[in-house]
Amino acid sequence: MKQLTTILLTLGVFMMAFAGSEEKVLANESNINDANQVLNIAHRGASGYAPENTMAAFEKAVDMKADMFELDVQMSKDGELVVIHDTTVDRTTDGTGKVGDLTYDELQKLDAGSFFSEEFHGERIPTLGDVLDEYRGKTGILIEVKSPSLYPGIEEKIAEELEKRNLDKPNNDKIIVQSFDHDSVQTFHSILPDVPVGVLLSYSSNGISDQQLTEFASYAEYVNPSKNMMDAELVSRIHDFDMETHPWTVRDRESAQFLLEIGADGIITDYPDYVEPRQ
Ligand code: G3P
Ligand code: CA
């Protein structure tokens, strides 16, 4: 009887071990990522907690241990690369007018913090150079070329800023350049082919075709669609084309969880604490 009990117990342990390994294989075969491998990317800095695209927002992103932050680059009237999202200064500063109609000196005088909260009164519009000097090597930087058709030659100028700081080499300090304007992405790629680039995509009910993915894969490392287009199948297809995906923009915990579960490679969010931090 004792022998039979031992045999049954041994069989039970063996079956449990077998069941466990099968579960593991199934998990590996699914598209579920290890949460620790997902890049936590602070959108316009940690813009849920500080005024977007300011040093305060970038500092907050670093404090919150985001892996990277995203920023938007445009060009002043006198050719300085400035970090601001809208093509006018009206929403995020105390000034008015188009970014491209104002000189660097004029832009520098504007308060880019008070629109968010009085606590940030006096924050300035940074230059791309300021941000690279302060944060290169401390965190990854995802540079969006915003509305490049308004600023002919902006790709060359961004390339110069990176070259000056030796950030134009492969495996550098995690710099990625992206844009909704795919011609601009290709132009930048032709100037600095060693800096990885991504294509941004707005929501489209047509999804993304294999033909589009083939074209993107000929120059880009990242396909970054609106989070509203994402599902596990799209992540899988992007991976099949040897690219990665950083969807945008997460502003609630449920969306962060969903993107983690479908295996996104990075999550662009206003709230870095909504994404599981790296261990
Ligand atoms: O990085 C993606 C995201 O920034 C694109 O949208 O309008 O916030 O620049 P937007
Ligand atoms: Ca952006």
pLDDT tens for 192-222 read 999 999 999 999 999 999 999 999 999 999 9
Ligand closest to the CA atom of residue 142? 1
268 lines ligand 1 (CB under 6 A): yes
| Residue 4 Cα to ligand 2 middle (Å) | 67
H/E segment holding residue 11? helix 2-29
Q: Give residue 7's pLDDT band: very low, low, confident or very high (50, 70, 90).
A: very low
- Asked if residue 129 has pLDDT above 50, the reply is yes
pLDDT digits (tens, 9 = 90+) for 214-269: 999 999 999 999 999 999 999 999 999 999 999 999 999 999 999 999 999 999 99
Nearest alpha carbon to residue 135 among 197, 46, 198: 46
Q: How confident is the model at residue 5 (pLDDT cuts 50, 70, 90)?
A: very low
Length of the chain: 279
Atom of ligand 1 nearest to the CA of 248: 2
Which is more confident, 11 or 175? 175
Nearest Cα residue to atom 10 of ligand 1: 85
DSSP H helix total and E strand total for the chain? 9, 8
SS3 270: coil
Residue nearest to atom 2 of ligand 1 (CA): 248
Compute CA distances 244 → 177, 217, 235, whole Å: 14, 10, 8
Is 248 a pocket residue for ligand 1 (Cβ < 6 Å)? yes
Q: What pLDDT is recorded for position 37?
A: 80
Atom of ligand 1 nearest to the CA of 224: 2
Homologous superfamily, domain 39-274: Phosphatidylinositol (PI) phosphodiesterase (3.20.20.190)
Cβ of residue 200 lying under 6 Å from some atom of ligand 1: yes
C-beta of 43 in contact with ligand 1 (< 6 A): yes
Q: Which pLDDT score, from 0 to 100, does residue 41 have?
A: 98
| Residue 32 scores a pLDDT above 70 | no
pLDDT per residue over 75-90, tens digit each?
999 999 999 999 999 9
Q: Is 144 touching ligand 1 by the criterion CB < 6 Å?
A: yes
pLDDT at position 29 is 33
Give the pLDDT band (50/70/90) at residue 156: very high
Q: Which residues are catalytic?
A: 43, 85
Ligand nearest to the CA of 268: 1
Non-local (6+) Cβ contacts of 278 within 8 A are 36, 40, 65, 67
